[in-house]
Structure 1
Amino acid sequence: MRLTVDGKTHDVDVEEDMPLLWVLRDEIGIKGVKYGCGIAACGACTVHINGEAVRSCQTSISDVDGPVTTIQGLGTPDILHVVQEAWIEKQVAQCGYCQSGQIMQAVAFLMETPDPTDAEIDEAMSGNLCRCGTYPRIREAVKLAVLKMPEA
């Protein structure tokens, strides 16, 4: 199967029902996508397909119908995405395990809702779990990212 991930084309020889998460981590070597629960309940494995946030642990490789973006393709160490910048400025991460999924969810959300209310942020981010409980900082980072976003 041919897959475009973070702007690069990859040919992978895997079963059609293999979860995208394992293709990304084990076949392509993208370790920024995390395994959390395996049942799409925690959001640690969130990536974008065609700009839409999806849980890669429950997305079969055969269901991928467009380019995949992971946390590693969102920005670069020299030029971070505005959401990544906001996460750093608000010091969101404690252990950091869930943060790649949190950031990917926030980016997709802000593409659809560029000026969200606190309630909309909380609702959009509620499917991404953080064992460290940094939810107030996550909300503040999303709000800061709104201010940093370039005008459409």
Structure 2
Amino acid sequence: MRINGASHVVGLEPRVSLLDALREHLELTGSKKGCDQGTCGACTVWVDGRRVLACLTLAITCEGREVTTIEGLAADDGTLHPMQQAFIERDAFQCGYCTAGQIMSAVALLEEGNATTDEEIAESMSGNICRCAAYPNIRAAIRDVRDADAKG
């Protein structure tokens, strides 16, 4: 598999989820196992630039594809992605458990062009649940990055 720009050879059973491959076999623990049923979004990663729920994706289906996790979002020199920085500045997390999935979805929704209004942001982020209810701050962080990109 190609993960965060690096190739990895991993021997896995066909039934292993992408989430378990990332966390248990590659020690990439940023993506969280929340519900393990695809309803919370804590495990959101990108496969070939599209949002997927890693708990519902078989790792074997990612062979030859590019997987990006929260660990691959920051620059090589450690500089945070603008969305990561905005989440910090806007205090868009409390317990932090959902944060990786929220950030991965937030970056993707901007690239998808689904952040014109707060309603669009809320709808596009509806698959990512925050049990701490930091939604206003999450939307503010997304708006900050959207508006900075627009000035660009």
* Coarse TM-score class (shorter-chain normalised): over 0.9
Structure 1's 54 and 97: CA in aligned 2 closer, same or farther, altered over 3 A? same
In structure 1, runs of 5+ residues without a counterpart are: none
Structure 1's 60 and 151: CA in aligned 2 closer, same or farther, altered over 3 A? farther
Structure-1-length-normalised TM-score: 0.93
Report the counterpart of residue 21 of structure 1 in structure 2.
19
Sequence identity (%): 43
In structure 2, runs of 5+ residues without a counterpart are: none
Q: RMSD of the alignment, in Å?
A: 1.6
SS of the aligned residue for 2:55 comes to: helix
Report if aligned partners of 1:44, 1:98 keep a CA contact under 8 Å in 2.
yes
2:110 partner amino acid: L
Deviations 1:12-59 (A, max 9, x none): 100122100000001001010100000100000000001101000000
- 4+ runs of 1 displaced by more than 3 Å? none
Structure 1's 40 and 115: CA in aligned 2 closer, same or farther, altered over 3 A? closer
Report if aligned partners of 1:82, 1:148 keep a CA contact under 8 Å in 2.
no
Structure 1's 94 and 54: CA in aligned 2 closer, same or farther, altered over 3 A? same
2:143 partner amino acid: K
Report the counterpart of residue 110 of structure 1 in structure 2.
110
Q: Distance in 2 between matches of 1:19 and 1:130?
A: 23
Q: How many residues align?
A: 150
Cα offset for 1:9? 0.6
